[in-house]
Amino acid sequence: MTHPARSPPNPRQHKTFTAARKATVLVVLGALVGTVAVHIAVSATVERWQVETDQVGAKMNRWSRESRATTDTLLIGSSQIYRHVIPSLFEQEVRSYGRSVDAYNFGVPGMHCLELLFLVEWVLESKPDQLQRMVLHCQAGELELGGANWEAERTLRWHTGSVLARILHWYRRQPDWPSSWQAQWQHISLFLQRESNLGEGVKRIAAARANGQQHDLFYRQDALGTDKGFLALDRELSQSSGRTKADIERRVAMVDEAFMNRMVRWNRSAAPENLEPFRVELMVEIERLVRTAGVEPWWLVPPKPRSMPDLLYAHQQGWIKNLIRLDRPQDYPELFERRLRADRHHLTEEGARLLTKLAAKTMFEKPAQPVRREP
């Protein structure tokens, strides 16, 4: 059997391909160098701003210093945790069911699911001896970061090598992944910042905290919470002034009877068309991580305008076991009353007290079930 003769290589085509490949490499290297150079140039200014506004780092510091040794119930997640679960009241309610807990609110507004994964890993790696359960919630799972989080220290912190690998691996599995190069580069850029001169600020701050320096004094103390990490939105309004107060007042004014009527009627199901697959994957990974450590995970489904279809879907599939489901007006109509609404997404402090009691009831009304440490 004869085979057609292979045409000899064309030197001109080879040179063209080689030149194009070199050009691509130079463009990538140039972008890398340019990114690092810009970040180094602005590091002093940006780093100081980040220290002063990093609520996550301040809470990491305070919890490690004051509550790590005693906390058995860690409430960790977005503002739905931060503004809605009151640790002292939670402890009081649990005692009414014949149990005793020590709770801490590790909530921070706008917590991304990747940030929650990072913080859960950080907590578990510190091996807190008393930790028995976590109440969890994360704000978003999409990979396109909003402007508010761009280059914030908290975003740099969770852009580790392992997180970047997870993000890029997810993109590569998508059929249209080449078209998402800008979003991918956004995360690569944040990883480079973390590892560059600017990112050194994150590491230096962490090291200083480990040595006992009080860097959380840069952050407004009341914003860390008035009750073991908790701070209601309406209380923050009473303590705020200027732009912060005006912003909160604007958000409160957006809640009217028409909005409340629409909110009660909105669909709260795990419809497949509403799912964010990456968010589902992250929640299931967090669930697995917590259970493997012998800690019991509970996921909060708060009384927001729209439900959490990703979480509900994972629960229906049996991937996530425990829900504190407070999102259904037919079950808890009082949580959807206008008088308990601070803005479209948050309750007042009075509403938070009711939510806290309902959360404790959901978790502790039935006899405790042992959590097995998975291999």
The two tokens of residue 196 are: 């560059």
The whole-angstrom separation of Cα 93 and Cα 85 is 12
Q: Is residue 52 predicted with pLDDT exceeding 50?
A: no
Contact 75, 107 (CB under 8 A): yes
Contact 138, 113 (CB under 8 A): yes
pLDDT attached to residue 153: 77
Rounded to two decimals, the pTM is: 0.77
Q: Is residue 10 predicted with pLDDT exceeding 60?
A: no
- Within its chain, how far is the Cα of 28 from the centroid? 31
% of the chain beyond a pLDDT of 70: 71
**Helix/strand/coil (H, E, C) string of 93-142?**
HHHCCCCCCCEEEEECCCCEHHHHHHHHHHHHHCCCCCCCEEEEECCECC
The whole-angstrom separation of Cα 296 and Cα 7 is 66
Residue tagged 């028995």 (tokens) = 132
Angstrom distances, CA of residue 201 to CA of 2, 32, 56, 63, 158: 67, 19, 15, 21, 14
The two tokens of residue 86 are: 């009151």
Q: How confident is the model at residue 356 (pLDDT cuts 50, 70, 90)?
A: very high
The whole-angstrom separation of Cα 154 and Cα 148 is 11
Contact 341, 117 (CB under 8 A): no
Q: Is residue 200 predicted with pLDDT exceeding 90?
A: no
Q: What is the pLDDT of residues 209-240, one digit of tens each?
A: 444 444 333 344 455 566 788 888 888 777 66
Which domains are delineated in the chain? 19-364 (3.40.50.1110)
First to last CA, the chain: 58
H helices of the chain, where?
11-53, 55-66, 79-82, 87-95, 113-125, 153-158, 161-172, 181-195, 200-210, 233-239, 242-253, 257-265, 277-292, 309-316, 349-364
Contact 114, 157 (CB under 8 A): no
pLDDT attached to residue 219: 42
Q: How confident is the model at residue 90 (pLDDT cuts 50, 70, 90)?
A: very high
Q: What one-character-per-residue DSSP string does 144-169 give?
A: S--GGGTT-HHHHHH--HHHHHHHHH
Q: Which residues is 247 bridged to in the sheet? A: none
The whole-angstrom separation of Cα 108 and Cα 79 is 6
pLDDT attached to residue 106: 94
pLDDT attached to residue 125: 92
